[in-house]
């Protein structure tokens, strides 16, 4: 099964907790703090694998979790950092944050990597909090939580040449003749239900990737037929081979279908019509083809909608007539044409690492139906998760941090009074003026 769009959930590893410990050597009467830091949690990393051609592997495995970091230890020993979890994806995979819609990265070359969820840093042990005023602190941090998010993977095939045209114009037959691909071929429309990819190698040593895309029909850009589902794969192609069937008894059908396909390409993305396009007249071995080709040439020359008149190559995939000349012309055009990797949308940005918004409010205050004040927000919840409440000094440090963030003042302004209950996650405490 061909899968080119999927959503997965990624959860980076939590950092290891820092430790509260003290030196206990026999001949060291005033042993100081010796609790080590926690190790870093594992990150989730996407890496391009040339051997993959589809996102099928994610159909039944869509939750990925990285390992947590090791806890800090005695004698100032740092916990073990976790290994990153590496997920293989095919070339041409675009990664999008489903919550924000932001494109996080575009993986197109072998070995490309993208950190989509960063592992949490390890919590600091009590050795990090020693000071002249407090030489033996009982303070340690819990590990930082790893990032969790849902991402959408979208595959846009990295083919140099894309075959487009109505169903049954001979795209699959042509691909099977010029490459080692073996697409399904039959005498009915919509035989090709998924894109097929093959490598073309011509006599002078040049080679390129060619994709046979499922047949487009009028209305494809609006969801008719299979076109909308696979039009995205044309975005990266450098040269379009527009295949037109010359064997039909209706002599006007060729130009009508040619215009219809170009209209669908323009409707999906107007930039596609700026790509180099070669018109391929197919099935020239059949009786009506020569007459229809002569009429098509006249109609093509009279078409004022085309800024640049495309080159026309008549071929027969069955007899191999004109195939070699077409491949040579295609290779030459590829040498002159740059790559098209991604739309340059003004509202889409690419980042190498997802980060929380910097201008996000550190906390929010709400009151539930029972009068409990609820504190929420990424920053305050992260701070709470990293607080070791088993030690009183750590709890007092957390209270000071809340005060410095303005939580006390905000609660008073919201109407909180002494004795009211305040809740962060499942932890509750009494508010004191």
Q: What is the pLDDT of residues 271-292, one digit of tens each?
A: 777 888 899 999 998 888 899 9
10 Å CB burial of residue 280 (0-12, 13-18, 19+) is: buried
Q: What is the pTM of this model?
A: 0.68
Rounded CA-CA distance 211/195 in Å is: 7
SS3 209: strand
67 neighbors 83 (Cβ within 8 angstroms): yes
Q: Which two tokens stand for residue 174?
A: 């042509």
Rounded CA-CA distance 253/285 in Å is: 18
Q: What is the pLDDT of residues 299-328, one digit of tens each?
A: 888 877 666 677 899 999 888 899 999 999
Res. 5 pLDDT band, cuts 50 70 90: confident
Rounded CA-CA distance 58/331 in Å is: 35
Please spell the DSSP secondary structure of 363-386, one letter per residue.
-EEEE-TTS-EEEE-HHHHHHHHT
Instruction: Read off the pLDDT of each residue in 241-262 and give the average, rounded to a whole number.
Output: 86
Give the percent of the chain with pLDDT over 70.
84
Backbone angles phi, psi at 44, to 5 degrees: -100, 120
Rounded CA-CA distance 315/244 in Å is: 10
Indicate if the pLDDT at residue 262 is higher than 50. Answer: yes
Res. 189 pLDDT band, cuts 50 70 90: very low
Q: What is the pLDDT of residues 19-51, one digit of tens each?
A: 999 988 777 777 789 999 999 999 999 999 887
pLDDT value, residue 221: 42
Lowest mean pLDDT, pick from 26-30, 191-195, 366-370: 191-195
Indicate if the pLDDT at residue 225 is higher than 70. Answer: no
Backbone angles phi, psi at 342, to 5 degrees: -155, 150
Terminal Cα-to-Cα distance of the chain (whole angstroms): 64
pLDDT value, residue 24: 81
* Rg (the chain; Cα; Å): 31
Lowest mean pLDDT, pick from 7-21, 68-82, 100-114: 100-114
Closest CA to 154 of 368, 5, 254, 312: 5
* Mean pLDDT score across all residues of the chain: 82
Indicate if the pLDDT at residue 343 is higher than 50. Answer: no
The sheet with strand 44-48 has its strands ordered as 85-89, 44-48, 113-117
SS3 257: helix
Residue 367 CB coordination number (10 Å): 13
Residue whose tokens read 């709400």 = 366
10 Å CB burial of residue 71 (0-12, 13-18, 19+) is: buried
Rounded CA-CA distance 54/197 in Å is: 11
Which position has the higher pLDDT, 182 or 99? 99
pLDDT value, residue 237: 81
Rounded CA-CA distance 266/234 in Å is: 12
Give the percent of the chain with pLDDT over 90.
26
Indicate if the pLDDT at residue 184 is higher than 70. Answer: no
pLDDT value, residue 123: 93
């Amino acid at each position: 099964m061909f899968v080119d769009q999927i959503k997965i959930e990624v959860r980076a590893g939590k950092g290891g907790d820092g430790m509260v410990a003290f030196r206990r050597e026999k001949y060291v009467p005033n042993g100081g703090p010796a609790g080590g830091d926690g190790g870093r949690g594992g990150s989730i990393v996407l890496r391009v694998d040339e051997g993959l051609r589809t996102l099928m592997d994610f159909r039944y495995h869509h939750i990925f979790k990285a390992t947590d970091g090791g806890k800090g230890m005695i004698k100032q020993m740092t916990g073990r950092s976790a290994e990153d979890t590496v997920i293989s994806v095919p070339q041409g995979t675009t990664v999008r944050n489903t919550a924000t819609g932001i494109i996080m990265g575009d993986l197109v070359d072998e070995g490309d990597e993208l950190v989509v969820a960063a592992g949490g840093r390890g919590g600091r042990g009590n050795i990090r909090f020693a000071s002249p005023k407090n030489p033996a602190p009982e303070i340690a941090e819990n590990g930082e939580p790893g990032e969790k998010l849902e991402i959408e993977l979208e595959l846009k095939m990295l083919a140099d040449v894309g075959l487009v045209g109505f169903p049954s114009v001979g795209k699959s037959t042509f691909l099977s003749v010029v490459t080692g691909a073996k697409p399904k071929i039959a005498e009915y429309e919509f035989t090709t239900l998924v894109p097929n990819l093959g490598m073309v190698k011509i006599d002078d040593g040049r080679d390129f990737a060619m994709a046979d895309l499922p047949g487009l029909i009028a209305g494809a850009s609006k969801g008719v037929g299979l076109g909308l589902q696979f039009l995205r794969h044309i975005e990266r192609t450098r040269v379009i081979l527009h295949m037109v069937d010359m064997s039909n008894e209706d002599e006007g059908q060729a130009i009508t279908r040619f215009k219809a396909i170009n209209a669908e390409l323009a409707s999906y993305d107007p930039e596609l019509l700026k790509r180099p396009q070669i018109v391929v007249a197919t099935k020239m071995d059949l009786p009506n083809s020569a007459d229809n080709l002569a009429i098509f040439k006249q109609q093509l020359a009279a078409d004022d909608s085309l800024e640049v008149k495309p080159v026309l190559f008549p071929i027969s995939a069955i007899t191999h007539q004109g195939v070699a000349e077409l491949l040579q012309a295609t290779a030459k055009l590829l040498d002159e044409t740059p790559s098209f990797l991604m739309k340059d949308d003004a509202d889409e940005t690419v980042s190498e690492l997802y980060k929380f918004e910097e201008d996000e409010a550190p906390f929010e205050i709400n009151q539930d139906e029972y009068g409990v004040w609820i504190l929420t927000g990424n920053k305050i919840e992260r701070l709470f998760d990293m607080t070791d409440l088993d030690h009183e000094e750590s709890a007092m440090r957390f209270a000071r941090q809340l005060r410095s963030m303005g939580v006390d003042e905000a609660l008073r302004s919201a109407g909180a009074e002494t004795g009211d209950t305040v809740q962060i996650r499942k932890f509750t405490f009494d508010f004191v003026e």
